[in-house]
Structure 1
Amino acid sequence: MATKEAASSSKMTEEEKMLKGELYQAFDPVLLEQRQKAKLLCFQLNQTSPLEVEARQQIVQELLPNSKDSKNIWIESPFHVDYGIHLHVGDNFYANHGCTILDCNACTVGNNCLLAPHVCISAATHPIDPVLRSSGAEITAPITIGDNAWIGANATVCPGVTLGNNVVVGAGAVVTKSFGDNVVIGGVPAKVIRHLEISNEPKNED
């Protein structure tokens, strides 16, 4: 069984291994080219004036092609993303200054999400074994963030984490495991601080 799995893995491209969460070589020429393209677009975005709104939006659309149908995406500079092609953000997404998203696996962010300054969302990790790590092998795991999330300044969301809807992540938190809907989490590692009671939308009175 193990031999069959090894043979199957050997036939996969490094990109396929990466997206499947298997050990892969990050400096594979195809992956390197994809990252270089994203770095160039990030450089262009970060060198574009905040007053050049249309130019910035065009760069963001090219950088995040899977989010081209989402409305009201605004990203402050500097911003860094590994690939861009594996990141999907929903409507009304806002990333404040200094955010980094390492989307070497699928990173999915829902609608109405806010990232405070210097948030790090990383689908990337390395083997614990030092020999394997020094060989250049890396591992990934997808990240999913639900609707209406607010992630505080300098918080880190680690590989494989899923956050539900309406989650608030406190400043400086390190999120190493998944959490459901309607919670405030914080600390290192993050834990539930409180549960939220979500108010109903106000009704218009005639």
Structure 2
Amino acid sequence: MSLINTDVKPFKATAYKNGKFVEVTDADLRGKWSVVFFYPADFTFVCPTELEDLQNNYGHFQKLGVEIYSVSTDTHFAHKAWHDTSPAIGKIEYTMVGDPTLTISRNFEVLIEEAGLADRGTFVIDPQGKIQVVEITAGGIGRDANELLRKIKAAQYVAAHPGEVCPAKWQEGEKTLAPSLDLIGKI
């Protein structure tokens, strides 16, 4: 079953953010746009490049009203230790959620059961708590924050403009489509 347009399932977890441990729940993903960004593990190789890329673009996400929650099955203590020792991770200002119970990873269907780790899964959540974008990649394939920003802008545009859709490679300000009988066979 697809997770698109489904509600985020209930969860409660401890996270590391800006030098503090904080509680995060599914309620935090409502009322604004959110990105839940799963990665396999702290102290690895591709993961810090992705998380640093998100941080380097964090201001752009915030301008769009989007909050980022990175999630791995590590604990919040491991997140703090990684933040304190890695130059790339030390830059992070967004919330780093620990999922040692595997609840969140199971809720989003990204858990690799036999490994106890999460796949590289990216989820864009709308202000109503519904999943609008799902992307899952193999462990060796890093993701790009700029492409994620483009998808968020498209999702926000479609949400604000019922009856319009964004074609492939759509960028903010470009022409959209209004599906109708008149367009059938003309694209």
Q: Same fold (TM over 0.5)?
A: no
Question: Normalising by structure 1, what TM-score?
Answer: 0.27
- Write 1 or 2 for the structure with the bigger share of helix: 2
Structure exhibiting the larger radius of gyration computed from Cα positions:
1
With CA pairs under 8 Å and 6+ residues apart, which has the higher RCO, 1 or 2?
A: 2
